[in-house]
Amino acid sequence: MKKVAMVTGAGEGIGMGICRVLAREGYDLMIHTATNLAPAEKLRDELIASYGIRAYVVKADFLHPGAFQEMFREFDAKFDRLDLFCNNAGITEGAPFLEMSEETFERVVNINLKGSFFCTQEAAKRMIRMGIEGSIVLLSSNLREYIQPHMSVYGPVKSAIAQLAKNEAMELAPYGIRVNAIAPGWVDSSPRLEPHRESSKRNIPLGKWATVEQVGELVLYLASQKGDFFTGSVLTMDGGASCQRDPDYQFDV
């Protein structure tokens, strides 16, 4: 029987990369987007044409009450199993600490942390009901480990997601469900990030960004039999950036 995955935040960037890797390996997909349907529908059509999989798009704004449950009801109408749930949906919004608004605070917390919590809860309920020893992967960030200006909400929220993965892993282990988190650094996920490329490389010992496909490959590994002893783990993939404490020191050969 073909495996089924749901990936949130898959209308662009990292989420798209994850979907492409999973489709290549034969996963049927539920592709979530929060806003613009067109890119997600284009991705769906591409993956169906390239790999012959079943793929559907669901739109859900995590700021709206009941959005998580409604999204999974749409999933239930299309699929009768769930092997992998990857919560990639999130926003990166920052402001100086003294200028941070309550509105921005709530938006970052609700989409990133509340979304991770309740989407994972819905996914786990289905895996348990279906008797599937599935895999859940949450997207954290390397900013959970070190401080960046104007990220006084985003950083702690991503740290909380990493801790959430550990708590969920402990509670879901009796059902054979594994929960892990990936904490990327800079990922080549959007043209909007291009102005930061050269300056950011200065603080990355490997001197480059990750690709969205590399994130997808790690999700695939964690969901595979090869990764079936990983649970409660937080895997940082940032080219060594979180090891770097002195931005003036360069790892020159």
- What tens digit of pLDDT does each residue of 77-103 get? 999 999 999 999 988 877 888 888 999
Rounded-to-integer distance, Cα 141 and Cα 158, Å:
6
What are the structural domains, with CATH classification, of the chain?
Answer: 4-243 (3.40.50.720)
Rounded-to-integer distance, Cα 178 and Cα 3, Å:
16
Degrees to nearest 5, angle at CA 114 with 103 and 161? 110
Q: Would you say 108 and 91 are in contact if contact means Cβ atoms under 8 Å apart?
A: yes
- The confidence score (pLDDT) of residue 93 equals 77
Q: pLDDT tens digit string along 97-124?
A: 888 899 999 989 999 999 999 999 999 9
- The confidence score (pLDDT) of residue 251 equals 44
Rounded-to-integer distance, Cα 166 and Cα 201, Å:
30
Residue 190 confidence class, pLDDT cut points 50, 70, 90: low
**Could you tell me where the beta strands, DSSP code E, fall in the chain?**
4-7, 28-33, 55-59, 84-87, 135-139, 178-184, 187-188, 210-211, 234-237
Sign of the four-CA dihedral 41, 44, 46, 48 = negative
- The confidence score (pLDDT) of residue 29 equals 98
- The confidence score (pLDDT) of residue 196 equals 62
From the CA atom positions of the chain, what is the Rg in Å? 18
Residue 191 confidence class, pLDDT cut points 50, 70, 90: low
- The confidence score (pLDDT) of residue 141 equals 83
Active-site amino acid positions: 154
Q: What is the SS3 assignment for 205?
A: coil
- The confidence score (pLDDT) of residue 249 equals 47
Q: Indicate whether this model's pTM tops 0.85.
A: yes
Residue 170 has pLDDT above 80, yes or no: yes
